[in-house]
């Protein structure tokens, strides 16, 4: 994607070939700044504090984190320490474990002297693979948008999305946004309703920011607005991302996704989930009972951050002193509410049979 006319990815190896650059997403949309990660601790902190976030990007950052750890110390003990430290950063997005397992497999059986170079190579491949997956998702999802545009005689297609499953959540293009960017670039009139996504407002601060940078028409809506829009025929399709999809097609995504799926089902609006295969967890079946749901700090609910009229970014309290707070980061949408899974290998039914048929090499692993 282009930022101020310059091609950018969300993560890159710095020119010193000793560290990794990222965009500090905690500062967006009010400030754009990059950060250099030079150590395992830097990478783990970046994931934990959500300087990087979004399932695919978390996985890629962890992969580079293993490289940074092995640059300092390529022993078995340090490899194990890096795996454990990175795995502990966030519990829900399965791309994290997927990437760490890939890294382990790439370096474990090599002599210590070769491990850092092998880790850098594999992390780079994972990075490129993520971009290829996003583009695959984009091409398959584009067809869905084009079909609706044709049905509407070219009138604009309204897509509702939740959270940020965009360029910022992956390495490039995004997952839910990839079909949208491709459609927009090809001249299909497409408009996005971006849920604000309380409590951290990834929709309002990140999705709106990146759509705006790319010139995609969009409207930020409070989280509770989607149902109303659907009742009035103002949403043609929903496309969301995913943090983990179970073998039977249940979808874990940012809290609030399930309510959008219910509203979509009630209003016969197609509800699609866009994901790379690294987001599928073939080791579990029932997403509702088996996916660990991250519970995040109460301060994300009690406080909001924003820009004042004089341009200062401040954090203010919006909940009375002493009120109890619950902050579940994710929810699970059962497969029966999902119209289709947009993957790099096509648009699939949200079912065990369809996932296993499309990804036979992954479904047999565990």
Q: What is the spatial distance between Cα 73 and Cα 115, in angstroms, rounded to a whole number?
A: 10
Could you say which residues in the range 56-95 bind ligand MRU, by CB under 6 A?
A: 56
Our finding on whether 254 is near ligand MRU (CB under 6 A) is yes
54, 59, 249, 287: which one contacts ligand MRU (CB under 6 A)?
Answer: 54
35, 44, 46, 53: which one contacts ligand MRU (CB under 6 A)?
Answer: 53
> Total residues contacting ligand MRU (rule CB under 6 A)?
17
Window of 49-57, 78-86, 123-131, 143-151 that interacts with ligand MRU by CB under 6 A:
49-57
List the catalytic residue out of 195, 243, 250, 331. 243
46, 69, 242, 342: which one contacts ligand MRU (CB under 6 A)?
Answer: 242
Our finding on whether 247 is near ligand MRU (CB under 6 A) is no
In whole angstroms, how close is the CB of 254 to ligand MRU at the nearest point? 3
Contact 331, 255 (CB under 8 A): yes
Our finding on whether 179 is near ligand MRU (CB under 6 A) is no
Our finding on whether 46 is near ligand MRU (CB under 6 A) is no
Window of 34-42, 102-110, 148-156, 239-247 that interacts with ligand MRU by CB under 6 A:
239-247
Our finding on whether 164 is near ligand MRU (CB under 6 A) is yes
In whole angstroms, how close is the CB of 51 to ligand MRU at the nearest point? 11
163, 273, 342, 355: which one contacts ligand MRU (CB under 6 A)?
Answer: 163
3-state SS of the chain is CEECCEECCCEEECCCCCCEEEECCCCCCCCCCEEEECCHHHHHHHHHCCCCCCHHHHHHHHHHHHHHHHHHCCCHHHHHHHHHHHHCCCCCCCHHHHHHHHHHHHHCCCCHHHHHHHHHHHHHHHHHHHHHHHHHHHHHHHHHHHHHHHHCCCCCEEEEECCCCCHHHCCCCCCCHHHHHHHHHCCCCEEEEEECCCCCCHHHHHHHHHHHHHCCCEEEECHHHHHHHHHCCCCCEEEECCCEEECCCCEEEECCHHHHHHHHHHCCCCEEEECCHHHEECCCCCHHHHCCCCECCCHHHHEEEEECCCCCEEEEECCCCCCCCCCECEEEECHHHCCEEEECCEEECCCHHHHHHHCHHHHCCC
- Decide if 243 is catalytic: yes
Whole-angstrom distance between the N-terminal and C-terminal Cα of the chain?
36
Which position has the token pair 């949309």?
29
59, 136, 141, 329: which one contacts ligand MRU (CB under 6 A)?
Answer: 329
Window of 123-131, 133-141, 158-166, 335-343 that interacts with ligand MRU by CB under 6 A:
158-166
In whole angstroms, how close is the CB of 76 to ligand MRU at the nearest point? 31
Judged by CB, which is closer to ligand MRU: 53, or 198?
53
In whole angstroms, how close is the CB of 298 to ligand MRU at the nearest point? 16
Our finding on whether 291 is near ligand MRU (CB under 6 A) is no
Which position has the token pair 């980061």?
329
Our finding on whether 253 is near ligand MRU (CB under 6 A) is yes
Judged by CB, which is closer to ligand MRU: 74, or 223?
223
Window of 99-107, 178-186, 235-243, 306-314 that interacts with ligand MRU by CB under 6 A:
235-243
Give CA separation, 275 vs 14, 169, 211, in Å: 28, 11, 19
Q: Which two tokens stand for residue 356?
A: 């296993």
Our finding on whether 169 is near ligand MRU (CB under 6 A) is yes
In whole angstroms, how close is the CB of 324 to ligand MRU at the nearest point? 22
Beta-sheet strand order (sheet of 251-254): 280-281, 244-246, 251-254, 330-333
Our finding on whether 202 is near ligand MRU (CB under 6 A) is yes
Judged by CB, which is closer to ligand MRU: 70, or 95?
95
Q: Which residues are catalytic?
A: 243
Query: What is the binding site for ligand MRU (CB under 6 A)?
Result: 53-56, 163-165, 169, 175, 202, 240-243, 253-254, 329
């Amino acid at each position: 994607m282009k930022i101020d006319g310059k091609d950018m990815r969300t993560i890159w190896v710095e020119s010193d070939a000793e560290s990794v650059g990222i965009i500090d997403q905690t500062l967006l949309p009010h400030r754009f700044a990059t950060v250099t990660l030079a150590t395992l601790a830097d990478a783990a902190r970046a994931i934990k504090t959500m300087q990087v976030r979004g399932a695919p990007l978390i996985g890629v950052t962890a992969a580079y984190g293993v490289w940074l750890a092995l640059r300092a110390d390529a022993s078995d003990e340090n490899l194990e320490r890096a795996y454990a430290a990175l795995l502990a950063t966030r519990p829900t997005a399965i791309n994290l474990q997927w990437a760490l397992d890939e890294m382990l497999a790439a370096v474990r059986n090599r002599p210590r002297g070769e491990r850092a170079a092998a880790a850098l190579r594999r992390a780079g491949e994972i990075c490129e693979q993520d971009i290829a997956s996003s583009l695959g998702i984009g091409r398959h999802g584009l067809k869905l948008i084009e079909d609706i545009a044709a049905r509407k005689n070219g009138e604009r297609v309204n897509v509702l999305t939740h959270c940020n499953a965009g360029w910022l959540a992956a390495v490039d293009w995004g997952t839910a946004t990839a079909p949208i960017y491709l459609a927009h670039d090809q001249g299909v009139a497409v408009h996005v309703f971006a849920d604000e996504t309380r409590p951290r407002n990834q929709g309002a601060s990140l999705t709106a920011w990146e759509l705006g940078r790319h010139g995609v028409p969009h409207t930020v809506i409070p989280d509770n607005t989607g149902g109303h829009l659907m009742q009035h025929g103002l949403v043609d399709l929903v496309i969301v991302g995913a943090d983990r999809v179970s073998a039977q097609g249940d979808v874990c995504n940012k809290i609030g996704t399930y309510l959008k799926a219910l509203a979509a089902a009630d209003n016969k609006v197609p509800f699609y989930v866009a994901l790379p295969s690294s987001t599928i967890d073939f080791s579990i079946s029932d997403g509702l009972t088996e996916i660990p749901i991250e519970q995040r700090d109460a301060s994300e609910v009690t406080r909001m951050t924003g820009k004042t009229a004089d341009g200062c970014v401040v954090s203010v309290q919006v909940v009375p002193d002493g009120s109890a707070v619950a902050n579940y980061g994710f929810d699970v949408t059962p497969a029966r509410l999902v119209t289709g899974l947009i993957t790099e290998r096509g648009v699939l039914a949200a079912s065990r049979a369809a996932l296993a048929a499309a990804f036979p090499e992954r479904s047999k692993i565990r």
